[in-house]
Amino acid sequence: MAIFKGSGVAIVTPMNEDESINYDKLHELVEEQIQAGTDAIIICGTTGESACLTVEEHLETIKACVEMVNHRVPVIAGTGSNCTRDAVYMSKEAETYGVEGLLCVSPYYNKATQKGLIEHYSAISEAVHTPIIVYNVPSRTGCNVLPATVAYLAENTKNIRAIKEASGNLSQIALLKSITRDSIDLYSGNDDQIVPILSVGGIGVISVLANVAPRQTHEICQAWFDGDTALATRRQLDAIDLIESLFCEVNPIPVKTAMNLLGKEVGPLRAPMCEMEEKNLERLKKSMKDYGIL
């Protein structure tokens, strides 16, 4: 059974002006997402500035989110690390909080071999019972989890159940699905490829866009599931300009900026994330206005 189907929001981590985590605001965001039809909450992923959180903050934020959601939709915790021991530790801790899934990015900077990736993910799998989503994002990690590696993990571990594919390589993604079929669930990790990935057997998206357009992102997936592929495609294409603007600087700079423009008051970014360049800020504002959310 899939961890979730549809639109999962890679939710931002709201902060106070002193850069402490704003848990009251996080609760507001969670409620808004659930009311808008979002199908899962992904906490402490890249969009949640996980790389700039202490381990203690990271785990406390996961625990708080689980309590806020209270089983209304699945909560998936980002617990990946470039150190296998750290990934195992955080995954085991998050499991005790009652998360429905673990999102484990491939080891960044170390650039593991495919053999190393198998050993890394196998170690996490052996340490927990919670379903695991492999996160493949080579542009940020410097490491590509190849289809054959995913197929091996699906066949030889008890709980590696899905992959968030953000390689952007549709040929690779199609090959992945062709050799894994129903043994691995496929989620788009790129908002501009939701429909293309659904078309090769994907079951949803782990989305940045959903932070500012939760209902619309859910509707892209739901239209596809309902058999209205023309509507899903139209909704996907309508969002492309906004999606491009949300990635015109490194994530999560634009999306957190967009949320503040919407009055969500999610606070500052932690360094080395910084304020947007003026030309990109103006581009973002225009895209939001054109999309009808500003």
State the DSSP code for 3. S
Catalytic residue among 5, 121, 135, 187: 135
What is the C-alpha radius of gyration for the chain, rounded to an integer number of angstroms? Answer: 18
Contact between 76 and 104 (Cβ < 8 Å): no
Q: Which residues of 152-183 are buried (b: 16+ CB within 10 A; e: fewer)?
A: bbbeebeebbbbbbbbeeeebbbbbbeebeee
- Nearest C-alpha neighbor of 94 from the set 72, 124, 139: 124
H helices of 200-252, in order, are 214-225, 229-246
Contact between 180 and 150 (Cβ < 8 Å): yes
Check the CA dihedral 61-42-129-104 and report its sign. negative
State which amino acid sits at residue 101. G
Say which residue the tokens 């593991």 belong to. 112
- Would residue 289 show up in a list of annotated catalytic residues for this protein? no
Contact between 106 and 149 (Cβ < 8 Å): no
Catalytic residue among 5, 25, 63, 164: 164
- Would residue 109 show up in a list of annotated catalytic residues for this protein? no
Give every CB contact of residue 79 below 8 A, 6+ residues apart in sequence.
44, 62, 87, 90, 91, 93, 94, 102, 103, 104
Residue 101 CA to its chain's centroid (Å): 12
SS3 182: helix
Catalytic residues: 135, 164
